[in-house]
Structure 1
Amino acid sequence: MKKKLLVIDDDPVVLRYIDLLFSKEGYQVVKAEHGLVALDILKTYTPDVILVDMVMPNISGKKLCQLIRERERLKDVCLIILSATVAEEKIDLHELGADACIAKGPYEETAQHIFAVIDQQDAIPSQRFEGKILGIENVYPRRVTKELLGVKKHFERILEEISEGILELTHDGRVLYANPAALSLIPMFEGEFIGSHFAAIFGPEEQERIEKLVNAGADEPKANPEDTPIRLNGYLVTLQILPMGGDKSKTVLILRDVTDQKLFEQRIQKNEAQLAELINKNVDAIVIADREGEVQFVNPAATDLFARKRGRFVGKQFGFPLMGGTSTEIEVLSSWEDVRIADMLVTEVKWEGKKAYLASLRDITERKEMEEDLRMANRKILDQQKAVIDEERLKVLLQMAGATAHEINQPLTALLGDLDLLKLSSDNPEKQAKYISQLKIAGRKIANTVKNISHIHYYETKPYAGVTSIINIYQDLNILSVEGSDADFESIEAFLQKMGRMKLARAKDIAGALRALETAKTDLVMLEHKLPDGNGLDFMEKMHEKNIETPVIVITGYGSEIIASRLIKAGAYDYLTKDMLNLETISASITNALEKIRLKRDVGLAREKMAEMATMDQLTGLYNRRYFMEALERDMARVKRHGIGLAISMMDLDYFKGINDTYGHSAGDMVLSEIGKILKKWARQVDLVCRYGGEEFVVIMPDTGLEGGKIACERLRKMVGEHPFEYEASQFQMTISIGIAEYSGSEDQLLPDLIKRADAALYRAKNEGRNRVI
């Protein structure tokens, strides 16, 4: 049975020579002048031997070999490569699936090599020509050919890496070449696709349109409009046809995947429709005006508020001053008899690509009327309450002074009556003397009551009505007297008992005083300077060591002002000398000490708040950039001392500007706040999470190397990508890019360098497609 031979070569002399030579030897020879013809032949013809030229038009010999071996029916065919460029181009027979490669040389020698390869097909594997290039000893490399082949490979790599689909078609629409990007969109294997008609891969409804576009020829570039993309294998694509210079037999076609773009546009259109519906149904009036104040848009609520039709509104001056970020109350003349009050909030926006103002107006007429009614009613209530409070306060003061209303009203009535009688008895000295005596008695009763009132303690207050304070007349002070002398303690005790509402405890030495302070509630310490186990300075030092902040009043002997001054510097609040102890000095000193401790606590709280504000980002609840820089410097020093690991990760939200532009800055703030919560949930207790600025965040990760940091940050990237962000009626996803840098503790690595390396890694993550960790 004759062996069947298919020879594929664009050189007609080679085709004719092989045809004549092998026909004489009893072979059935079929010829193909290029790869496209060969693929058509191989659809129905199965040869025993295939000779393939490497350099051919339309489909290259390399690609043709790969396509042949992909077909199950041709896997065992003897495939021989004929190449005139073996000296300049390395050929991988295994990659191409070829059985042998023969260098093109003199025809007789080339024919001998072909016969030798065919004869060896039935030999044992060790005797075959596998991996050998036959006839290469008679060919020599050509510099120009090698350079041209290098250029060819360079452009082939570009075509393989480019993200757009590139195809080469014949004049009648058959596919000669398709790069990987194009093949990823095609519902066929490459072996089936190459040589097929391009229009056949589209649905019936698109085929006629594609054929017209492809077969019409192209003297200049043409494309289908982007607003009418073509459906292909579940994708939406656009086509662009490029002419091949003077060669009208071929066409280059660019295939672009616009699926994501169209889906995004559809979402935008849907959101715009929803936004338009919300604006039109909004009960608040919406007015958009340009920078000159000319109205560009109004919603139905605005036409109702201003009692003006849309045609008489748009294109006219708004009439009210507009300034972004302001909120003002304006009066709107809704009709000739109806003036409405509106709260107007102005925001800067973009309208048709230009800066503009959006004014949101809420009719607050009824609210303002209600507020006025409430204000008048509240005023009446306050006036009534003041009268009641004044009356009740007088009753309390009288009760605290041990008097009743009757006891003060009676002498007041007698006083006023005696004054009238005194006027009537100007001519009777005896009666005048009697009435003057009664006046003195009534006056003394009132004076005693007032004196008792004046002894109420004023040195502690309590909040009242949320805005002021009043004296706390129900106070109980716990005082600890540290006094070694029984006589001095009894003297102090006597004075405090006269003041009332004082609970006095005693300690005879420093050790006992400290135990009392640690176990019992103490508001004030009265300290004798000289004690059995030390002095006042020793006591103050031990209080500081134990972080006890109870106010201390020191009692010293006569002429000990220098010691008292040292004790004040050590932290005492006041001092008294024993020769000056009396009710008034003790009362004044206690008042002074309690006022100082209250002021100190208020200042402490204020400082804590200021320190917190100086280191915290209010929007996200994370530490700010300033705190990050201080903390990183401390942690880097710790790495140097202990040799432990440290990594920092810089993070940036992808496409954050699009959120602000699409949904507004309130949505952007919502996203940043949510990211802060995610970061807190993700981070370990030892990690420090900070907002670096804008949509950038940074995390200090102690005891962590580069690989551990990447694993942790990859988990964070997935958490952010899977988190649903919702703003009003819209829902969207966010992604985050992360760059990591490691600090080894080396002396030549400075803090700015570490931050710069992390920032450079973040920049790479952005450039390489975002939503990744580098």
Structure 2
Amino acid sequence: MKTILVVDNHPVVLKLLVEFLKRMGHEVISAEDGLAALEILKKVTPDIVFTDLIMPNISGEKLCQVIRSRPELKEVHIIIYSSTMLEDEAHILSLGAAACIAKGPFKNTEAHIAQVIEHIDNGTLPALQGKILGGEDLYKRHITSELLCSKRHYEIIFNSMPEGVMEFTLEGKIFHANAAAMGLCGLQEENLLASSFFDLFTGEHRERVRALLHSPGQDPVIIDDTAPILLNGKMITIHFLPSQDEEHTFIIAIMRDLTEKITAARELELLRHQQERILNTVSEGIFGLDQENHVTFVNPAALAMLGYEPHDLAALGNKLHEIVHYHKPDGRAYPLTDCPIHATGQDGIVRKGTETFWRKNGESFPVRYTATPIQEDYEITGTVVTFADITERKKMEEKLRESAMTDELTSLFNRRGFMTLADKLIKISVRDKNDLLLVYVDFDNLKWINDTLGHSVGDQALIEAATLLQDTFRLADIVARLGGDEFVILCTDNSALGNERNILIRLNETIEKTNRMTNRQYPLSLSVGVGRFEHLSPCSIDDLLRQADQAMYKNKGEKKTLHLDGYKH
């Protein structure tokens, strides 16, 4: 005697098959569809399963796939008993069934059923593999073939949808799920089918779904993106669509994963808050301007430096030029057309330099500024202006000049002036957590000029080099002559960091332009080395000079090797 599960949605066929197997002395359990069969298989492991293929809810095809995927059911013999054998022969034989019986006249079918069980008893069931018993009693039906093809096409579309789709009974039993739904749940199909839709959720989320579907009407029920629900660690929306066929009422759930969207929105909001905190805590003043120079944003540091209260600029909309450029330091009018900050909003060119700004109380003060255009889709939509009060620096520079810390020949800072100023700037860099860039320059072959052309020409060559360096670097940079043929430049703006190559290219272009001038007695050639002061691992100014000096000598050696210093060797 064997335990046999019979699955068929046709009540007459089911009754005939059950009674026949019982007369043969077997214990028989029946199920009206695949969903009911899966519920039985949770409690009972039969020896044989007879199943039809075309059934509502979970089909026989899906039932076969689930049985074959569960290790505890691997010894169960599956016998397909269907009337669509001839129309779908190739597919049916691939479902892993032990035998296939065509559903024809039941008197003919009885012999085939008995034959299959006899083979099972004798251990010769493999002899029936690939055969369809009773196929000779049937003929192919064209319309059935078309319907089966349409069903396969539907399944392909269903499993290709990006949205997760599930179908379940009013009691919550899942009988259909596409690939996206399995991915959202993190479950394989064999574990998902016949399980409870409500059990996919936990805690308050489960109760929320139960309450929404407590008495489903005809209208859709929606969990939208304003209050998404948690499923398997993902935030999702669900559209519940009540549906009905001729015999059953069920619910279709269409699920969309909002996790990435919500995560991105949260990260964007966090980034916005972080940017606001940065803008509100930096020591430099920051203005945001539209294309017409109207103020759209101002940070606390800018308000403090200009002596305004937040409510003074609450309306914003004021033109920055009218706020900070009352007039020039000498009292003359300052036309808007002369304003470099306004020009950046017109032509999109980044501008840096020093300016005089005016406070609300009428006092002026020197600033170092950078005006950067805002561009969207290649159109200028505004300008960001950053500025710092350099009053202390100006006073320091004046004090150095008063202390005769300049080089007499070139009017640059001398070694003493540079070392004094550089030491203070390094301390400020550490305090403000900024890095500095130091450029070390050596005038190539100055001895040759002095020996060949005379020291007066040599002095003029040094003055020419000093002027060239001042023209190449920004007004805010510290340019000094350390002595003899050695110069040094300390770049104090972070914009120089990472732009070393561009700085050197600009310097070389200036040198080449100078050498193209006619009637020159000597070619101008400078060897250059760069050192970087890092506030996270600070060093002394002497160490920084040594670092740049070594880089300079490397450059000088390379130029001599390649004969690029402008002289014949």
Query: TM-score, normalized by length of structure 1?
Result: 0.46
1:357 aligns with 2:357: no
- Structure 2 CA distance for aligned equivalents of residues 203 and 326 of structure 1: 58
Which string of whole-angstrom CA distances, capped at 9 and with x for unpartnered residues, describes residues 98-144 of structure 1? 11111222222222222221122122437731221112223222223
8 Å CA contact 2:410, 2:462 repeated in 1: no
Please give the per-residue CA displacement for 1:469-511, whole angstroms capped at 9, x wherever unaligned. Answer: 8xxxxxxxxxxxxxxxxxxxxxxxxxxxxxxxxxxxxxxxxxx
Distance 2:223 2:353 in 1: 52
Task: Give, in whole Å, the separation in 2 of the partners of 1:348 and 1:169.
Answer: 57
Deviation, 1:270, is: 3.2
1:135 alignment partner in structure 2: 134
CA drift at 1:187: 5.0
Q: Is the 8 A contact 1:84 1:104 kept in 2?
A: yes
| Matched letter for residue 150 of structure 1 | C
AA of the residue aligned to 1:132: K
2:285/2:386 contact within 8 Å kept: yes
Q: What corresponds to 1:278 in structure 2?
A: 278
Give distance in 2, aligned partners of 1:281 and 1:380.
Answer: 37
TM-fit CA distance, 1:56: 0.9
> Which amino acid in structure 2 is aligned with residue 336 of structure 1?
N
Distance 1:597 1:362, change over 3 A: closer
Partner of 1:175: 174
From the superposition, tell whether residues 111 and 368 of structure 1 become closer, same or farther in structure 2 (CA, over 3 Å): same
Q: What is the CA-CA distance between 1:70 and the residue it aligns to?
A: 3.5
**In the alignment, residue 115 of structure 2 is paired with which amino acid?**
A
Aligned partners of 2:224 and 2:238 also within 8 Å = no
Alignment of 1:566-577 (within 5 A): none
Q: Residues 238-257 of structure 1: matches in 2 within 5 Å?
A: 238-243=236-241, 246-247=244-245, 249-257=249-257
Select the residue among 317, 334, 346 that pairs with 2:371.
Answer: 346
Match of residue 43 from structure 2 = 44
Q: Is structure 2 residue 389 aligned with structure 1 residue 366?
A: no
**1:339 partner letter:** S
Give 2:358's aligned residue.
333
Q: Which has the higher helix share?
A: 1
Equivalent residue, structure 2, for 1:589 = none
CA distance in 1, matches of 2:157, 2:370: 55
CA contact (8 A) 1:289 1:318 kept: no
Structure 1: gaps of 5 or more residues:
386-455, 470-594, 607-774
Residues 339 and 216 of structure 1, relative CA distance in 2, 3 Å threshold: farther
Partner of 2:464: 468
C-alpha distance in structure 2 between counterparts of 1:191 and 1:379, whole Å: 86
Q: Are 1:55 and 1:61, in contact at CA under 8 Å, matched by a contact in 2?
A: yes
Aligned pairs (5 A) from 1:70-149: 70-92=69-91, 95-125=94-124, 128-149=127-148
Percent identity between matched residues is 32
SS at match of 1:96: coil
The answer to whether the 8 Å contact 2:165/2:177 transfers is yes
Tell me the distance in 2 between the aligned counterparts of 1:318 and 1:372: 35
Q: Which amino acid aligns with 1:315?
A: A
- What's the counterpart of residue 626 of structure 1? none
Deviations 1:432-468 (Å, cap 9, x if unpaired)? Answer: xxxxxxxxxxxxxxxxxxxxxxxx9649965766343
Report matched runs for 1:745-764 at 5 Å: none
Distance 2:356 2:464 in 1: 36
CA gap of 1:290–1:224, structure 2 versus 1, over 3 A, is: farther
Equivalent residue for 2:439? Answer: none
Is contact 2:237-2:257 (8 Å) kept?
no
1:309 is aligned to 309
Structure with max Cα Rg: 1
- What residue in structure 2 maps to residue 166 of structure 1? 165
Report the secondary structure of 1:302's partner residue: helix
Residue 78 of structure 1: how far off its partner (Å): 2.9
Shift in CA distance, 224/344, structure 1 to aligned 2, threshold 3 Å: farther
Provide Cα deviations, 1:365-395, integer angstroms capped at 9, x if missing partner.
Answer: 333444455567669974899xxxxxxxxxx
Task: Name the CA distance, whole Å, in 2 between partners of 1:124 and 1:174.
Answer: 37
How much does 1:83 deviate? 1.7
SS of the aligned residue for 1:7 comes to: strand
Alignment of 1:623-634 (within 5 A): none
In the alignment, the residues of structure 2 paired with residue 376 and residue 89 of structure 1 have an alpha-carbon distance, to the nearest angstrom, of: 102
Distance 1:348 1:251 in 2: 56
Aligned twin of 1:236? 234
**1: CA distance between counterparts of 2:355 and 2:460?**
37
1:33-84 deviation digits (Å, cap 9, x = unpaired): 1111112222223433321111111111111112223444433333211122
Change (3 A) 1:333 1:17: same
Closer, same or farther: CA 335–171 of 1 in aligned 2, 3 Å: same
Does the Cα contact within 8 Å between 1:330 and 1:343 map onto a contact in 2?
Answer: yes
Number of matched pairs: 405
| More relative contact order, 1 or 2 (CA 8 Å, 6+ apart) | 2
1:128 and 1:369 mapped to 2: Cα distance? 104
Write the distance in 1 (CA, Å) between the matches of 2:244 and 2:178: 23
* Residue type at the aligned position of 2:462: G
Q: CA 1:78 to 1:376, structure 2 compared with 1: closer, same or farther past 3 Å? A: same
Map of 1:151 onto structure 2: 150
Tell me the TM-score normalised to structure 2 length: 0.62
